[in-house]
Amino acid sequence: MTDQKDLTQPDAVLDAPGQACTTLTPLIKQHLTALQSGDVLEVRTDDPAAREAVPAWSRLTGNPLLSAAEQDRRRTTFRIRKK
């Protein structure tokens, strides 16, 4: 049996209301740089464009998107694992 990381608690949180995707993805990269491989970053945003941009960024960079959850019409929470 292998140990699996507890995904209920992220290793770091980026709370980024008001950040557009042009500034959000560099912030995500910056926060991931400070983490170790396998760590999970939770990203909280209110930018509607992030619903498409963050998954695309995740695919392009190879950092797996573990989840994307709409909190309401304004907020989305993403969980990204550092590769």
pLDDT at 41: 98
pLDDT value, residue 2: 41
- pLDDT on residue 71: 85
- Which helix (H) or strand (E) segment holds residue 55: the answer is helix 50-61
Tell me how far apart the alpha carbons of residues 7 and 18 are, in angstroms, rounded to a whole number. Answer: 26
**pLDDT at position 4, please?**
54
- CATH among 3.40.47.10, 3.30.360.10, 3.30.110.40, 3.50.50.60 for 12-81: 3.30.110.40
pLDDT at 8: 72
User: Per the structure block, which two tokens stand in for 72?
Assistant: 């309401």
> With contact defined as beta carbons under 8 Å apart, do 24 and 50 qualify?
yes
**pLDDT one digit per residue (tens) for the chain, 83 residues:** 344 555 579 999 999 999 998 999 999 999 999 999 999 999 999 999 999 999 999 999 999 999 999 988 899 999 999 99
**Total residues belonging to the chain:** 83
3 state SS of 33: helix
